Amino acid sequence: MTINFLIAPDFAPERFAAWHMLNTALQKRSGIQLHLLTPASAAEQAAILAQGQVDVIYANPFDAAHMVRTLGYLPFARPRQCYDEMVIACAADSPLQRVEDLKPGCRIALTDNQDIKLIGQRLLEPADIGEADAQWLIVASYQAAARLAIKKEVDVAFFLADAFAAMSRMTRSQIRPLVESAIGDISHVILAHPRIAASLPALSAALLALRTDAAGHSVLDALGMTEGFEAMSQEDVEFMIDLMDTLLD
């Protein structure tokens, strides 16, 4: 039996090889055959999910809410002390000094990630910028968002904090953070379809044990998840989903 393992497409490109390293490590440690799926966009992810063949998914919190409450996926792990914070940044030489300097009609570049947009909208509240007050430009990647900000084709761009930190030194020298969220408790999660419940103990044990040896630590370092993974219960994921709902209100 081969398990299809999908990775949400919002990781930094620099981490691509690391996900393949993780996939290989989990196969060796669990004895389970895994087929890694790395969609390039949210639309491609949705198309794959619509086929109903995704057994395990590393999902962003917004997608996780739908997959748990509507599709019945089971939570079993999440990165330890690795939360989904986001950064709002502008060009390094932009006149903007703080979020409050943004005005209605401002242009914002972002990827098609609802969780990042949701958190970003909360951070825009001091500027009294609602969804209808901004021009939203959806781009394919954080690198594309950075380019638009650098060229001042947008006023600001939204970034997953981890993706922002993973950008090249040259790119980060040309963009300047205005604000970074500090919510905590919201993170990507690893979910499994109930049809593979029998394989979960071995898969979970292999994942959680990565932080116990040098080989596992090398994989985690490449992923930017140095603290490894921890078990996640149904109660844990319900708490996180409720927090997401609070942000939506």
Q: For residue 170, give the DSSP letter.
A: H
Same-domain status, 94 and 176: yes
Tell me which residue range forms the domain holding 146.
86-180
Domain of 30, CATH number, reads: 3.40.190.10
Alpha-carbon distances of 45 from 49, 86, 113, 163, rounded to whole Å: 6, 21, 11, 19
Give the C-alpha separation, 141 to 76, whole Å.
Answer: 28
SS3 at position 130? coil
SS3 at position 103? coil
Please check whether residue 186 is in contact with residue 122, taking contact to mean a CB–CB distance below 8 angstroms.
no
Give the C-alpha separation, 61 to 63, whole Å.
Answer: 6
Looking at residue 126, its pLDDT comes to 94
Could you give phi then psi for residue 107, rounded to 5 degrees? -105, 130
Same-domain status, 58 and 11: yes
Looking at residue 31, its pLDDT comes to 96
pLDDT digits (tens, 9 = 90+) for 228-241: 999 999 999 999 99
Same-domain status, 56 and 13: yes
Same-domain status, 122 and 206: no
Using DSSP bridges, classify how beta strands 135-139 and 107-111 pair: parallel, antiparallel or unpaired. parallel
Residue where one domain finishes, among candidates 162, 180, 198: 180
Could you give phi then psi for residue 63, rounded to 5 degrees? -65, -35
Residue where one domain finishes, among candidates 122, 148, 180: 180
Q: Which residues, at least 6 apart from 65, have a Cβ–Cβ distance to it below 8 Å?
A: 241, 244, 245
Looking at residue 20, its pLDDT comes to 96
Residue where one domain finishes, among candidates 144, 164, 180: 180
pLDDT by residue for the chain (249 residues), tens only, comes to: 799 999 998 887 788 999 999 999 999 999 999 999 999 888 899 999 999 999 999 999 889 999 999 999 999 999 998 888 999 999 999 999 999 999 999 999 999 888 889 899 999 999 999 999 999 999 988 999 999 999 999 999 999 998 898 889 999 999 999 999 988 888 999 999 999 999 999 999 999 999 999 999 999 999 999 999 999 999 999 999 988 888 776
Query: How many independent structural domains does the chain possess?
Result: 2
CB burial class (10 A; 0-12, 13-18, 19+) of residue 87?
A: buried
Same-domain status, 212 and 223: yes
Structure tokens at 6: 């999908």
Same-domain status, 172 and 147: yes
Same-domain status, 214 and 228: yes
Same-domain status, 107 and 169: yes
Same-domain status, 148 and 100: yes
SS3 at position 227? coil
Alpha-carbon distances of 1 from 18, 38, 104, 219, rounded to whole Å: 24, 20, 54, 25
Same-domain status, 40 and 73: yes
Same-domain status, 195 and 142: no
Same-domain status, 126 and 167: yes
